[in-house]
């Protein structure tokens, strides 16, 4: 039996990691939902908080150690030992950001502004804030609030809603 078409209406995305690629995956998913006219919530927890911490948000990096998918330009595997050297991680992250800019993918703060300008909401996790001894004043001003896990689930109700974990 074929299912009735039921378009997605709402997505709640949890980002628990702070590396460049994980944060961008969450940002692209959220912004994409907003651009399709869906309700979208993006909830940052644990290391994901870096993406909305003023000091860190525009300095996210991609790991050069323990990242088997990392390759040199041309496709040769990235030698793990290189990843130890000072400046290599910054260089690789700089290259990633440059590539993204060419594709019109904005820096983190601008991306967050695009999401909220379209009506998407950004939240921080209360437990993770307490754990990292961060306060609301350390966070990007555009967030809609600090939530407990219970409040997150309250926001995630309704049919045609999906929760996505990054």
Which residues of this protein are in contact with other proteins, per CB under 8 A?
28, 31-32, 35-37, 103-106, 110, 113-114, 117-119
Q: Of the two residues 2 and 102, which places its CB atom closer to other proteins in the complex? A: 102
Q: Whole-number minimum distance, CB 104 to other proteins, in Å?
A: 5
Q: Of the two residues 83 and 106, which places its CB atom closer to other proteins in the complex? A: 106
Number of H helices, E strands in the chain: 5, 5
Cβ atoms 38, 11 nearer than 8 A: yes
Cα–Cα distance between 21 and 25 in angstroms, integer?
6
- Residue 112, SS3 per DSSP: helix
Q: Whole-number minimum distance, CB 17 to other proteins, in Å?
A: 20
- Residue 69, SS3 per DSSP: coil
Cβ atoms 63, 96 nearer than 8 A: no
Q: Whole-number minimum distance, CB 108 to other proteins, in Å?
A: 13
Q: Is 124 exposed, middle or buried (0-12, 13-18, 19+ CB in 10 A)?
A: buried
Spell out the alpha helix ranges (H) of the chain.
20-35, 88-102, 108-117, 126-131, 149-155
Q: Of the two residues 37 and 91, which places its CB atom closer to other proteins in the complex? A: 37
Q: Whole-number minimum distance, CB 37 to other proteins, in Å?
A: 4
Q: Of the two residues 83 and 118, which places its CB atom closer to other proteins in the complex? A: 118
Q: Whole-number minimum distance, CB 25 to other proteins, in Å?
A: 11
Q: Of the two residues 101 and 130, which places its CB atom closer to other proteins in the complex? A: 101
């Amino acid at each position: 039996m074929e299912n009735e078409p039921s378009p997605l209406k709402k997505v709640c995305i949890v980002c628990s990691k702070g590396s460049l690629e994980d944060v961008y995956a969450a940002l692209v998913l959220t912004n994409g939902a907003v651009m399709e006219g869906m309700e979208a919530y993006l909830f940052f927890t644990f290391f994901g908080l870096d993406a909305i911490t003023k000091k860190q948000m525009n300095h996210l990096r991609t790991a050069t150690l323990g990242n088997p998918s990392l390759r040199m330009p041309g496709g040769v595997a990235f030698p793990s030992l290189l990843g130890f050297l000072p400046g290599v991680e910054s260089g690789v992250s700089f290259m990633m950001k440059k590539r993204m800019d060419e594709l019109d993918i904005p820096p983190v703060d601008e991306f967050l502004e695009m999401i909220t300008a379209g009506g998407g909401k950004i939240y921080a996790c209360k437990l993770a804030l307490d754990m990292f001894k961060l306060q609301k004043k350390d966070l990007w001003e555009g967030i809609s609030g600090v939530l407990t896990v219970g409040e997150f689930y309250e926001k995630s109700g309704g049919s045609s809603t999906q929760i996505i974990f990054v």
